[in-house]
Amino acid sequence: MSEGLEAIRAALACDPALYEGVVRAEREWEGTIFSVEHLEVELSDGSRAWREVVRHHGGAGVVAVRDGRVCLVRQYRVALGRMTLEIPAGKVDPSEPREVCAARELAEETGLIAERLELLTESYGAPGFTNEHTSVYLAHGLTQGEASLDEGEFLNVVWVPLDDALAAIRAGLIDDAKTVSGILAAKAYGML
């Protein structure tokens, strides 16, 4: 293992000077996709503070590339009040393997079937308040099937040239965290 990775592992080791211990947890709200907790924590100096945390089952997404173009889904996101371009992705069902979720979402949203999925990266979108964890895979051996969107799901599939997708990331036009991290990881690893 490289010295750089060892230094990063050391930087990620638990540090008592920065640790926050949970003293009390109160579940404030329970939904089908996430729940909200109010946590009282003890800080390293002995004082106490409150944290609001969103607990989420997590998700999985797929970077699918064919003929130098990346498959993105175009959809309206009400939380943002605008359209987004994202890799095909969705939430992991309880006890569902992440790779199974990724393959299911790719097929449902785009009709694409991957012969094989390769893990590209893992990410936490906003660790300051949520544990939402997303696994992003690279699709290999794509074949086209029929899309089967969930009830109430509306989106369009668009194929964007990889260089245009990278330029759109730099310009802030593609700004979804799983999409950015997935495309950049695939490019950095020389997979695209």
Residues near 56 by Cβ (< 8 Å), separated by ≥ 6?
Answer: 33, 34, 91, 130, 131, 132, 133
Length of the chain: 192
How many Å apart are CA 50 and CA 36, to the nearest integer? Answer: 13
Q: Is 115 a catalytic residue?
A: no
How many Å apart are CA 64 and CA 186, to the nearest integer? Answer: 10
How many Å apart are CA 157 and CA 147, to the nearest integer? Answer: 10
Catalytic option among 30, 118, 151, 153: 151
How many Å apart are CA 170 and CA 163, to the nearest integer? Answer: 11
Q: How many CB atoms lie within 10 A of CB 174?
A: 22
Whether 113 and 107 have beta carbons less than 8 Å apart is answered as yes
Cα–Cα distances (Å) from 71 to 5, 78, 90, 167, in that order, read 32, 22, 15, 15
- Which residues does the annotation mark as catalytic? 151
